[in-house]
Every structure is written in structure tokens, then in C-alpha cells.
Amino acid sequence: MANLIEDYLTTFRSLLPVGKRQQTRILQEIEDHLLESWSHEQEHGMPPEEALRRVLARFGEPAEIAPVFVEQAVVCTRRQTRLLLVASLALCFLLICATIFRYPAIAGSFADNVGYSCFCLLLLCAYGWLGLRATSLKSTIALPALRQEVRVSLYSTLSFAITYLLLCLLESLLWSKGVVLYPRQNILAIDHMLNSFLVTVPFVAWLIFTLIGSSSAVSHSRRISTGSMVGLWSGLTMALGVVLISLALNYALMGLLLPTSWSYDPICRSSSDLAACELGDTLGGSTSALLALPLLGAGLGTLGGVFSRGRSVVLS
């Protein structure tokens, strides 16, 4: 009789295209409900085997019940994804405004600061609307796409955070210890190579994650537009990650960077406000990322979708 429940849950598992954690939770809830109902039927004098068959029949066929649980999982995942997006957008805008008003020399006059803030607000609102649209997929294809969006975002942002932190620490070490041993010109060349390498690594990783994620999502949905949405989301979250992580680490490590790598920056070292110059440089690069990465991500997602569809056509 226990095999009946096991077979029922095995069939149910094959119809749940959700993550392992969600799948385990759903199956545990179903099993607990079946066992409780089975025990209740036996307490009323029904033979165990007949009681179990009645409970399973009353609960329904897995093919009929599974879509209900999938829809609930879609709603939950979509809500969490949208909350993450809105929170990131709000935090990004607040951090940008705090930076330019804390260091007015970045933009210039107060009017310039207000204008730059309004531009960033407009840009973030536009991409926020697009990001929310990218999570508004039909339930039949939403879960695989949403899972790919979250996974690609996590991997890409994490790779950038690690490499940017490593870059800050290595630059500080290079300019605090290296200048004692080697000529400044040699250290500057090493600094430039280090910058180029550690900036390229997360960008290439993001390209790979986006192509793989969009291809995987399209393999489930059979729609190239799904790949475009995954790519757009990937580019948007990567751009937000660039802004948040770079500014946050610059603030957190400012005491370490000011007397070392920032002091030897050939562009900013003659500035009257070294911190403002460096943060302004970071902010300029971040704004460029906000403008370019979502559009580039959508293009990469479309390309990944085309590859996935082409491969499925060839295999079929």
C-alpha cells in the first residue's frame, strides 16, 4: 500500500517543473495530507487498501492537480523576483543620489546634480518597467524562464562582486608595496593590465551565463522571445549590480584606496577632491553600464534563443 503513495508521488514529481526545494516542499505537503486522510478513513472502519484508494481518488489525478501547484509556484517566484528588482532599483537610485549630493563636484552645480538625478530616475523607471514586463510570462513557460532569470542574475552579479573586490585589494597592495620595489611607470602598466583583465573576466562570464540561460529557457518555452526576456533581465540586473557593488565597495574601502591606488591615479591625483573624482569616474562607468547592458543582454538572449531553436530543429 505504501507503494501506491510512492508511485503517486513519483508521477507527481515528474509533472512539477520547479526547483528541488519547492518540489520537496510540495511533495511533502501532499504526502502528509494523504497519510492524514488515510488514517482518518481507517479510523472510521474502512479497510486500509480501500481507504487509501479512496483517498487517492478524492485527491485527484496528478495530471489534474499538478498545474495548480505549478501556478502557485509561478506566483511565488514572480513575486520574489519583482521584489528583488524593485528593491535593487530603489537602492541604486538612493546610492547614486547620495553620492552626487555628498560630493557636489562630481556633477558640478546643484542644478546639474538635480538633472543627473532625474535622468537616472527616468532611466531606472524605464528599465524597471521593462524588467517587470520580463517576468510577466504565461504560467506554462514562466517557471523555467523565471528560474533562469534569477540564476543568471545571481551568477553574473556574484562574479562581478568577487572580481571587483579582488581588483580593489590588488590595486591597493600594488601601489602601497610595489612602488617601493619598482618604478612608478612599471607599476602603472601593471595596474592597467590588472584593470583590463579583472574587468574582462566578469563581462565574459556574464556573456556566457546569458547565452546559456537564454538557450535553456527557450528550450522549455520554444519561443525566442523568452530568450530575449531572460537576456534583458540578465543585462538589467548585471547593470544594477555594477552600480551597487562598485559604489558600495568604493565607500567601504575608501580608507584603504585613498592613500594608495587613488593617490597615484594619473587622472584624479591632481584633483582638489580626490574622492569625488574617483567616485565620479565610477559613477560615469556605472551609468554607461545602465545604458548599454540591458540592451546588449536582450540581444544576447535573442541570439541564445535563435541557437536553441536552431539546434532543436536540427535534432528533430
- Which carries the bigger pLDDT value, residue 250 or residue 75? 250
Distance between CA atoms of residues 115 and 113, nearest Å? 5
pLDDT more than 70, % of the chain = 92
pLDDT at 65: 81
Is 287 in contact with 294 (CB distance < 8 Å)? no
For 225: left if phi > 0, alpha if psi spans -120 to 50, otherwise beta; the answer is alpha
Q: List all residues 6 or more positions away from 274 whose beta carbon is below 8 Å from its beta carbon.
A: 258, 262, 263, 265, 268
The reported pTM is 0.77
- Whether the CA torsion 264, 267, 271, 274 is positive or negative: it is negative
Contact assessment for residue 68 and residue 20, using Cβ atoms and an 8 Å cutoff:
no
The backbone torsions φ and ψ at residue 280, rounded to the nearest 5 degrees and listed phi first, read -65, -40
Q: Residue 91: what pLDDT?
A: 92
Q: What is the pLDDT of residue 212?
A: 85
| pLDDT for position 296 | 92
> What percentage of the chain reaches a pLDDT higher than 90?
7
What are the φ and ψ backbone dihedral angles of 238, each rounded to 5 degrees?
Answer: -65, -40
pLDDT at 222: 78
**pLDDT tens digits along 257-275:** 888 888 888 888 788 888 8
Could you report the per-residue pLDDT of 80-135, keeping only the tens digit for each?
888 888 998 999 999 999 888 888 888 777 888 888 889 889 988 988 888 787 77
pLDDT of residue 246: 92
Is the pLDDT reported for residue 314 higher than 60? no
Q: Which tens digits make up the pLDDT trace of 64-94?
A: 888 777 777 777 777 888 888 899 899 999 9
- Strongest mean pLDDT among 177-181, 193-197, 251-255, 306-310: 251-255
The residues near 210 (Cβ < 8 Å, ≥ 6 apart) are 152, 156, 230, 231, 234, 235, 297, 300, 301, 304
User: Can you tell me which residue has the cell 612599471?
Assistant: 186
Average pLDDT over residues 172-196: 82
Q: Ranked by mean pLDDT, which of 185-194, 243-252, 301-310 comes out on top?
A: 243-252
Q: For 126-162, write each residue's pLDDT tens digit.
A: 888 887 877 775 554 555 666 666 777 788 888 889 9
Greater pLDDT, 248 or 56: 248
pLDDT per residue as tens digits for the range 277-299: 889 888 888 888 888 898 898 89
